[in-house]
Amino acid sequence: MEKNSILKLTDVTKRFGGLLAVDALNIDVKEHSIHSLIGPNGAGKTTTVNLITGVLPVTSGTVEFMGQNVTGKKTYEIARLGIGRTFQNIKVFQTMTLLENIMVGGNQLTKMGLVRTILDFKGAAGEEKMLREKAESLLDKLGMYHLRNEYMKNLPYGRQKISEIARAMMTDPKLILLDEPAAGLNPSERAELVKVIQQSFEEGFTFFLIEHNMDVVMNLSDDITVLSFGKKIAAGTPAQIRDNDEVITAYLGSAFVKNKEQEGAE
Amino acid sequence: MNNMKNNKNMKNALKWAVVLAVVLCLPNIIRNDYWMVVFVRVLINIVLVLGLNLITGLIGQMNLGSAGIYALGAYSSALFVKNTGLSPWLGLLVAVVTGIVIGLVLGYPSLRLKGVYFSLTTIGFTQVVQIFLNNMTKVTGGSQGLKSIAPFSIFGFQFDSYIKSYYLYVAFVLIAIFCAVRIVNSKWGRLYRSLRDNSDAVEMSGINIADVKVKAFIAAAIFGTVAGAMYAHFYGYISPSTYTVDISMNFVLMLLVGGLGSVSGAMFGAVIVTILPELLRGLGNYYLITFYIIIFLGILFFPNGWVEAASRPIKKIIAKRKKEESASGEK
């Protein structure tokens, strides 16, 4: 059965002055799938994520999330609609504990304003309890409950990366955008990350993954879109992408492919 | 687990009860008008610094506009009371409304300006306020200031002596501490701290940063204008020369000495920075330089504030005891 589309980019274009960073990009991310966006450095992958999340305005084209046009909406409005995100360069709250980091993610689920928080003891305590329990259960699932009171700056890089995913999950998202989650991780941390993504996927999350590590991409993805110089050069299943000449050329260069062909002929 | 939490709460309550008892007994221990004035100034400064702590201590934006906020609070309440002849309590309400307006005026630039640019803007704000107060002679009295500002009163009971004002202002401070503690220890305090660390991650969590920041500025400005009104109705005289950038710097020093971000730190800093120069007056011409050397060294050696530095050995002992207890429990 054909899955519904959760995120749809139609002819999305982004120009920075004379530079065409994303060129009429069309992507269709299906509900409950892991869709990867790959491409060489400077291909426009992070720009695409920034366009989806409203960090950058699109030059032309539309971004639809669950059938709703979100083009031009503010970042926090898009997040509230159900898009969570992690960052290429890790963005955590270093001076706060792991638990506090995750609880910030759930803030938008609470309702009480500043004055009511001061005056309504019971209501404020109830909200705090709800946030704490939700964050603790999330950390428990991710195997980090025992680290909840550790300051973020004291945690290893891999744990910090996973905590970003947990913070995104705390917002109750339908779709999570992961921007190079495996970058800078050692093999054991990478294996843990893959486990976390797989486990979360099984729980019903949809992922849009930007990643350079091909093992991670090929093992996890249902669909892959390949970008080169802002243009989509291929899209398909991991098997289709693996054998695509244009993708190999974009990643390894035409000289490499030519040499390889010559070696094959000899 | 619950027992430990209850014990901690009990200890905290006991600590605060002792502090409150000392504060309430102070006028009977130190029977001296000069020191009563200093203590009242401490109380006024605590209210202002508790507000400044929200912006500079938690959100991390260096606000050097406290003097301007303080001045507008003092003048709005004093002018209202002098021109209408109504109660200073209504003047206080006018100061609160002024705080809301200042919060909006300073809050929006804070969304676009960061670091030194924001600090310069707040210095500019203080300068504009001072120039305005000096030059609007017909309204503000110009450099001569405003005299004979009525003190607070309740049902005919006037808080017209130092001791009476002291006790009234202790009540003001208790309300201010209550509000500050409720904010700092709530989801709002956590949100402010997260904004200091990384605003992109906060926005991606679905938080409207503009809304959160402007509300924080309004809250902080209300603390500042209330402190201003307290000053005006205590001294009975205000003039623009009081509200210089120097005192804005002093308020920031209070935060740095006590420790950024904590309510007890803000209070302790206000006490030290207000009282220490008075204690050093015996040094004659050298009292101010000695004061600033002590503050400078204090900040240099205890960058997280003196409260944190003082509580560090106690925390170590508690941690050691806990470790021993858990080790003996395992046996």
Selecting from A76, A91, A104 the residue whose C-beta is nearest the C-beta of B191 gives A104
Task: Report the share of chain A in percent with pLDDT over 70.
Answer: 94
Cβ separation A93–B186 shorter than 8 A: no
Task: State pLDDT tens for residues B51-62.
Answer: 999 999 999 999
DSSP at B238? B
Q: Residue B62: inside a domain, yes or no?
A: yes
Would you state the pLDDT for residue A184? 86
- Tell whether B23 is covered by a domain: no
What's the pLDDT score for residue B9? 77
pLDDT of A257:
60
Domain harbouring A199, CATH code: 3.40.50.300
Residue B197, domain member (yes or no): yes
Structure tokens at B143: 């450099």
Q: For strand A175-179 and strand A83-85, is the pairing parallel, antiparallel, or unpaired?
A: parallel
Closest-CA residue in chain A for B192? A104
Amino acid letter, residue A28: D
Question: Are A85 and A7 a contacting pair, CB within 8 Å?
Answer: no
Q: What are the beta bridge partners of residue A27? A: A9
A chain contacts of residue B200, beta-carbon cutoff 8 Å: 55, 87, 91
**A13: which 2 tokens?**
């274009």
Contact A117 B186 (CB under 8 A): yes
Look-up: residue for tokens 């979360």?
A200
pLDDT value at residue B310: 82
First and final C-alpha spacing in chain B? 20
pLDDT tens-digit series, residues A130-150 = 999 999 999 999 989 999 999
| CA distances, A146 to each of A143, A162, B328 (Å) | 8, 14, 21
Q: What pLDDT score was predicted for residue A248?
A: 81
Q: Count of domains in chain A?
A: 1
Decide if B269 is inside a domain: no
Q: CB–CB of A128 and B186 under 8 A? A: yes
With contact defined as beta carbons under 8 Å apart, do B42 and B202 qualify?
no
CA nearest neighbour of B54 among B247, B245, B243, B188: B188
Q: Tell me, yes or no, whether B191 lies in a domain.
A: yes
Q: Is residue B276 part of a domain?
A: no
First to last CA, chain A: 47
Q: How far apart are CA B222 and CA B48, in angstroms?
A: 9
How many separate domains does chain B show? Answer: 1
- Smallest Cβ–Cβ distance between B203 and the set A75, A110, A131 belongs to A75
Nearest CA-CA partner of B4 in B304, B329, B232, B322: B322
Q: How far is A216 from chain B (nearest CA, A)?
A: 24
| pLDDT < 70 positions in chain B | 1-5, 322-323, 325-331
pLDDT at A250: 77
Q: What is the pLDDT of residues A38-53, one digit of tens each?
A: 998 889 999 999 999 9
Whether B2 maps to a domain, the answer reads: no
pLDDT at B5: 67
Amino acid at B170: V
Sign of CA dihedral B216, B221, B227, B229: negative
CB contact under 8 A, B183 and A124: no
Phi, psi of B197 (to 5 degrees): -80, -45
SS3 content of chain B, % helix, strand, coil (to 5): 80, 0, 15
| Best residue in A95, A104, A151, A160 for a mutation probing chain B (most B CBs within 10 Å) | A104
What residues make up the domain containing B55? 30-243
Q: Which domain holds residue A209?
A: 5-265
- Averaged pLDDT of chain A: 91
Which pLDDT does position A246 carry in this prediction? 83
Mean pLDDT (whole number) for A219-240: 92
* 3-state SS, residue A246: helix
Tokens (6 digits) for B169: 């202002």
Cβ neighbors of B158 (< 8 A, separation 6 or more) are B151, B152, B164
Quick check: helix, strand or coil at residue A69?
strand
User: Nearest-CA distance from B318 to chain A in Å?
Assistant: 16
Q: Contact at 8 Å (CB) between B210 and B116?
A: no
